[in-house]
Amino acid sequence: MSIIFLLIGISLLVALTFLAAFFWAVRSGQYEDDYTPAVRMLFEDEIEQDE
């Protein structure tokens, strides 16, 4: 059953990775504006050509 120690260690490591990813996301300003990106991704580049 001592494998549990290893498993928990790994699971904590994974969780820490996610925590670090979250910190990075906050730091890079992704939570500053949660409206504009949603609009921005809907813009198409060359609308003129398909009409």
Q: Which residues bind another protein (CB under 8 A)?
A: 1, 4-5, 8, 11-12, 15-16, 18-19, 22-23, 26-27, 29, 31-36, 39-40, 42-44, 47-48, 51
Q: Least distance from C-beta 25 to another protein, angstroms?
A: 9
Sign, Cα dihedral of 13, 14, 19, 22? positive
What 3-state DSSP class applies to 46? coil
Q: Least distance from C-beta 31 to another protein, angstroms?
A: 6
Q: How far is CA 20 from CA 24, 36, 42, 46, in A?
A: 6, 25, 29, 38
Q: Least distance from C-beta 27 to another protein, angstroms?
A: 7
